Amino acid sequence: MTGTSPAPFLRTDEQLLRIHYFRFFTSQGCALGSVDIVVEEALAPSTPVAERCIARPQHPRLVPKSEYTVRAETVDAALARLVDRLRGRPLTDAFFPTH
């Protein structure tokens, strides 16, 4: 079927996303730290290519800071940019303080 939407069941105000989950491990002093990362990949052809994938840290109770949300063309590129931003910093810096 050429010329049709890849998801004809979607309405015009809806979008289909593929969600990827990763866990980034790094040394934090003498311990091992980890942070969960989620990458949302837009599957709609109308999404700008440079913003197709959005990566950010994820936590069940904390909200990530906006400077740790990155956009890229591919899942790999978004993940690499976010890991570069997280590398060398305490992983808790990626989230707003809880106190």
User: Tens digit of pLDDT for each residue in 43-64?
Assistant: 877 778 888 999 999 999 999 9
**Beta pairing partners, 57:** 37
Burial of 55 (0-12, 13-18, 19+ CB in 10 A): buried
The confidence score (pLDDT) of residue 55 equals 97
Two structure tokens written together for 14: 């809806």
Report phi then psi at 89, rounded to 5: -115, 150
Phi, psi of 2 (to 5 degrees): -90, 150
**pLDDT of 96 above 90:** yes
Reported pTM: 0.81
